[in-house]
Structure formats: C-alpha cells, structure tokens
C-alpha cells in the first residue's frame, strides 16, 4: 500500500460488504425516515407522496436527481473545499463545477480533471452581468485552472512559489489536512526557513511535500498595479505522492483522482453531507458499500445513495 493510501485509510476498518435487507417500517418510522431523508438530501420537508411511502428510502434517487439536492450538495462541497465563501461568485469555482457535474450526470472526477473552466462572462454594454458559467476548455483541469480560482489560491510566498495552491489541489481531491507548525511573529517562512526542523517534514520530506508539489506549478507574479499573472514552473518534474516524474498540475491531479484516496474522500464527503460528521469505525460495512457503489460508476450521487439507502440511516 502506498503512503498516499495509508494516510487516507488510517482510523477506519474497512469491513467486507455484506448482503442486507431493509426491514419493514411502521407508519411512524416511515414518516420519520421520510423527514430525515428529505431534509438531509434537499434541506426541505418531505412531499406528501414521500411521507405516505411505506419505504421512503426507495425514493432516494428521485431526491438526488432533483434540483434541490444539486443546489444543497454544491453548497456543501463549496464549504468543504474552501475556508470561506469567495468574495465574488466566480471565486467559488467548486460550487459551480459541482452543480455542473450533477446537472449533467458526469463522473465526480470530471470536477477535478475534466476539460472545463469556471468563468464570469463579460457584461454587455448597457446590460446585466450574466451568471457565472462552466465552459469547455481543452486546457482545463476541472476548475483548477479557472482564472479566479488560480488567483484566489496563489498564496503570498515571497518568490511566488504557489504553496497554497499545492495544498488546495490535494485538500480538494483527497481531503489532505495539515496544521501549521508555527505562526509565531518573525518566523522565517522563506524557502530556507521552510527547510528547518519543524517545517521541512511537510514542505520537503513527506509524500505530499508542499514545496516539491509547488515546484511543478506555475509561479505567481504580481505587477505594481496588483494584477496577478503566472510564469513558467520552476521544475520540470518532481518525485511526490510516492511516485516519480510528476510534471505539472494536470499530471498531479490526475494521479490523485485515480488513487483509492480519491474514492475514500468521496465516501467521506457522503458521510459528512448526510450525517454532519465523518464515518465512524463501526460504520465500516456501510462505508464499504459506499466505496463499491462509487467505484462502479464514479458518480458522487451513487456514493451518497449507498449511505442514505442503508437501513442504518433511518434507525
């Protein structure tokens, strides 16, 4: 097992999937289940039809395929992949891309490696500003090369090294979590300082070595008027993620998305969306079913449905 997989799998016992059957619900139980299911998936009270359904979980996919779910889950993903809302709508690229993927019934990986970008179309003279759009882009890497996203997460490293971008690429795809070792005033955060004890583990020595990842990303350049542009990447390739020869952001993200860690992250998102928390160790069988469902078609809807349709969700 690679270091990347180990990092994501720690703390969860993945039990073998088992056949299971829904037990019949009483009328009161069915109503409570319908309420929980509808509020969790759409944020709204259940319809009369769902409330009168003796097996409300049979209607899970109908809810998931609706516009209310698409809006609710897109907002959830945006909050999970960003610390704060964007200053403008176009900065919330994860929201717009998630909604596009759901509306078009695409694989979840398309949000991260699909040939798209998120942009704010220009406002016509004398007209109203058009809505933010997801557009086809043969050079696109999901939303990661969207102009507003690039500027938002370019960071402020003194030499323009995009450490913030490096972290976000991994956090967004596989859920990487890091805690800064120091924020003391006057701390040396230069390239030399980041090689010191207490910093170099995350920046140079680990499988996710932030400086190594950033070395294959373009360099941030800030003009005197504040405009941000991007220059050539410092390194031709880097040995990261326990792999060799990663050449750029597209190669990096593709390797992340094709890893088991990405599948694990998808099911963890499903649990966090439905339960408001990560999975518990005792929920290994449900998590296993989620992983199986997600691997089958690559769609986040299938991962969420696997958890929401499990009999434990309505207990």
pLDDT per residue of the chain (315 residues) written in tens, 0 to 9: 455 554 454 434 333 333 334 568 899 999 999 999 999 999 999 999 999 999 999 999 999 999 999 999 999 999 999 999 999 999 999 999 999 999 999 999 999 999 999 999 999 988 899 999 999 999 999 999 999 999 999 999 999 999 999 999 999 999 999 977 665 555 556 778 888 887 889 999 999 999 999 999 999 999 999 999 999 999 999 999 999 999 999 999 999 999 999 999 999 999 999 999 999 999 999 999 999 999 999 999 999 999 999 999 998
Co-location of 271 and 300 in the same domain: yes
Q: Are residues 143 and 169 in the same domain?
A: no
Per the CB < 8 A criterion, the answer to whether 291 and 267 are in contact is: yes
3-state helix, strand, coil in the chain (%, to 5): 50, 5, 45
Task: Establish if 1 belongs to a structural domain.
Answer: no
User: 241 with 264, same domain?
Assistant: no
In a domain, 251, yes or no: yes
Give the per-residue SS3 of 266-292: HHHHHHHHHHCCCCCHHHHHHHHHHHH
On whether residue 212 sits in a domain, the answer given is yes
Question: Does residue 4 sit within a domain?
Answer: no
| Global confidence as pTM | 0.90
Does any domain span residue 2?
Answer: no
Answer yes or no: is 14 within a domain: no
- Between the CA of residue 29 and those of 36, 48, 67, what are the distances in Å? 10, 15, 26
**Closest Cα partner for 79 from 249, 261, 269?**
269
Residues 238 and 307 in one domain: no
The residue segments making up the domain with residue 42 are 25-64
Whether residues 283 and 202 share a domain: the answer is no
* Residues 58 and 81 reside in one and the same domain: no
Residues 172 and 233 in one domain: yes
Q: In this structure, is residue 285 part of a structural domain? A: yes
Cβ–Cβ under 8 Å, residues 107 and 297: yes
Last residue of a domain, one of 64, 91, 114: 64
Residue 20 is assigned to a structural domain of this protein: no
Do 75 and 160 fall into the same domain?
no
- Rounded to whole angstroms, how far apart are CA atoms 3 and 242? 7
Contact 267, 279 (CB under 8 A): yes
Contact (CB, 8 A) for 63 and 41: yes
How many folded domains does the chain comprise?
Answer: 4
| Residues 32 and 110 occupy one common structural domain | no
The verdict on 84 and 31 lying in the same domain is no
**Cβ atoms 175, 268 nearer than 8 A:** yes
The DSSP call for residue 281 is: G
Shared domain check, 264 and 254: no
* CA dist., res. 94 & res. 145, Å (int): 12
């Amino acid at each position: 097992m690679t270091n990347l997989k180990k990092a994501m799998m720690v703390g969860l016992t993945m039990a073998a999937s088992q056949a299971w059957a829904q037990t019949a619900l009483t009328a009161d139980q069915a109503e409570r289940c319908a309420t929980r299911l509808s509020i969790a998936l759409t944020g709204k009270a259940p319809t009369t039809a769902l409330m009168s359904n003796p097996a409300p979980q049979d209607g899970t996919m109908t809810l998931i395929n609706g516009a209310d779910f698409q809006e609710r889950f897109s907002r959830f993903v945006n909050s999970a992949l960003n610390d704060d809302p964007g200053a403008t709508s176009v900065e919330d690229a994860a929201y717009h891309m998630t909604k596009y993927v759901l509306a078009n019934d695409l694989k979840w990986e398309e949000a991260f490696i699909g040939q798209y970008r998120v942009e704010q179309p220009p406002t016509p003279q004398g007209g109203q500003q058009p809505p933010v759009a997801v557009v086809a882009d043969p050079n696109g890497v999901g939303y990661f090369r969207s102009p507003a996203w690039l500027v938002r997460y370019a960071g402020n490293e003194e030499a323009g090294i995009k450490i913030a971008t490096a972290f976000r690429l991994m956090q967004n795809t596989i859920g990487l979590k890091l805690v800064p070792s120091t924020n003391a005033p006057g701390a040396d955060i230069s390239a030399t300082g980041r090689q010191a004890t207490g910093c170099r583990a995350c920046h140079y020595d680990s499988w996710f070595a932030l400086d190594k990842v950033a070395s294959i990303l373009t360099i941030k350049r800030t003009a005197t008027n504040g405009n941000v542009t991007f220059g050539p990447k410092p390194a031709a390739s880097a040995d990261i993620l326990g792999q060799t020869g990663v050449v750029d952001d597209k190669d990096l993200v593709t390797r992340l998305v094709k890893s088991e860690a990405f599948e694990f992250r998808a099911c963890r998102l499903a649990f966090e969306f439905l339960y408001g928390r990560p999975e518990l160790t005792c929920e290994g069988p449900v998590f296993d079913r989620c992983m199986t469902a997600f691997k089958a078609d690559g769609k986040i809807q299938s991962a969420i449905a696997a958890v929401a349709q499990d009999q434990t969700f309505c207990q």
